[in-house]
Amino acid sequence: MSLKSNLHNLKEKYKGTKMAPAFNALHTFLYTPNDTTHNGTHIKAADDLKRTMNTVIMAMLPCLIFGMFNAGYQHNLAVGDIQAVTSGFFSSEFWTLDNFMIGFWKIIPLVIVSYGVGLGVEFLFAIIKKHEVEEGYLVTGMLVPLIVPIDIPLWMLAIAVIFGVVIGKEVFGGTGMNILNPALTIRAFLFFAYPTWMSGDKVWVEGAVQRTKDIAAGANLDAISGETILGSLAQGKDMAYSVSDMFFGFIPGSIGETSTLLIILGGLFLIFTKIGSWRIMLSSVLGAITMGLIFNQVVSAGIITESSKFYTLMSTPFWQHLIIGGFAFGVVFMATDPVTASQTNIGKWYYGFFIGFISILIRVFNPAYPEGVMLAILLMNVFAPTIDHYVIQGNIKQRLKRLKVKTA
């Protein structure tokens, strides 16, 4: 008897029981659901929710793999075991097995906890509410490890995932009903509940506590810890990395947000597969550039002097804001969430523009939290329905005017 036949027999066994939703979720992960539409007019396509989610995960995998290499690279660089890369993206100092394994063993537990806890909550709600398990968390489960610091305690991540899935998603009715991006809700919970872990003022180093004890006598602790770019700029320090390092991703930061190059490639893949909105991505970039140019002009006009705590970030060239911090990652993979973003084409332009505009605004004026893309996206998630409402009302008014002209 084939595996599919055995699974079908098990499905009949669990049919009508409390565990049916949990089993069906595993069954339909590999096989097409038995229930399909038969009546009425429907748009036929090869994609479904699972395939859509898996496509987004495929776009993020290069960022995940690069993040593993970068975590090990930042570790070895901080402790002095290697020198900074000198030959670009294909540098032999970066793509080493040692770098990869250090990052792999630190990042994989984050992925396991994210998926294990998040899907556990999804299964629990499906069983309690007697509905099918929704596939929406497949993307969220991958996003979460990519937007948190690599050294965050696993128990802390588990609590945040539970909060994000329950409060950010299930209370609204589940996948397709939530008004806030679940992954950003999880990160926001971590930021407000455990701010010292999310400040971004340290570079993770394997065994840093023990190393500190071993070299405490007269040691230079800067060798095993250092600030991220935004943390440094927020404190008024000069840029310590080259443009190529920032673009390729040889910098400290959250796991998936450092390589702008791979994020752009992921964004192009999402646009090509018609899953990500190019309107939101482009308008977000335009909004960030606009705000960056305004700040640059304020500095050029002498309104803000070097004595101001906002000077360093304000004077940062507007285009550099696009390749530092989590801006690019947030715009490509979270601002384009089809559930929480604007649905109308015109609304997407307004929605994305304000995300970029507000991101740089928060980045500059909040030194305690220089990374503003998370708060900007969450804020615009709330206003997305309002934007769509006014866009639709505007279209209705235009059509009524044309109708009056024709009937006159």
What is the number of H-type helices and E-type strands within the chain? 17, 0
* Amino acid sitting at position 249: G
Handedness of CA 166, 167, 169, 170 (dihedral sign): positive
- Give me the pLDDT at residue 88, please: 77
- Give me the pLDDT at residue 36, please: 57
- Give me the pLDDT at residue 21, please: 59
Contacts of 136 (CB under 8 A, 6+ apart): 49, 53, 169, 174, 175, 176, 182, 339
- Give me the pLDDT at residue 80, please: 79
Give the residue from 16, 11, 14 showing the smallest Cα distance to 130: 16
Ramachandran class of 132: left when φ > 0, alpha when ψ lies in -120 to 50, beta otherwise = beta
Q: Write down the pTM of the prediction.
A: 0.85
DSSP element (H, E) containing 275? none
- Give me the pLDDT at residue 224, please: 41
User: What crossing angle do the helices spanning 154-168 and 97-129 adopt, rounded to 10°?
Assistant: 40
- Give me the pLDDT at residue 131, please: 66
Q: Mean pLDDT, 10 residues at a time, over the chain (408 residues)?
A: 50 57 57 56 61 89 95 86 80 89 94 93 80 76 91 92 88 78 90 76 58 43 53 72 90 89 96 94 97 94 84 89 91 92 95 96 80 90 95 90 77
SS3 255: coil
Instruction: Please state, in angstroms and rounded to a whole number, the distance separating the CA atoms of residues 388 and 395.
Output: 11
Give one DSSP letter per residue of 49-75, joined into a string.
Answer: HHHHHHHHHHHHHHHHHHHHHHHHHHH
- Give me the pLDDT at residue 215, please: 42
